[in-house]
Amino acid sequence: MPEVGPITLEACQKAVEGLILSYNPEIGDGITAYINEGASRAKVAPNKAFPGVRGRVLIGRREDGGDFSGLTAAQREHVINEVSRRIQEKT
């Protein structure tokens, strides 16, 4: 899967189904995320991998210059493994 360049504001909002709020998923250096700003007030299900977060989490990276972009192949593999581990620990 190729790396994804900058992701537009509209695409980020669509992915989290609402207005975005910056979030640190604490997964690794250079990895950041957005969550739905209103999900904590709405009746949205808790996220299984991120305690205290409701709804979807859009994970990406910050480019030089501040653009939010898709993950590199290595980052993508790391995130999938880490998120899977977190979910397994809860079950």
Contacts of 46 (CB under 8 A, 6+ apart): 53, 54
Residue 62 Cα distances to 1, 7, 70, angstroms: 19, 10, 9
Q: What is the DSSP letter of 66?
A: S
pLDDT digits (tens, 9 = 90+) for 30-51: 899 999 999 888 888 998 888 8
pLDDT digits (tens, 9 = 90+) for 46-88: 988 888 899 999 999 987 778 899 988 888 899 999 999 888 8
Indicate left, alpha or beta for 40 from its phi (over 0: left) and psi (-120 to 50: alpha): alpha
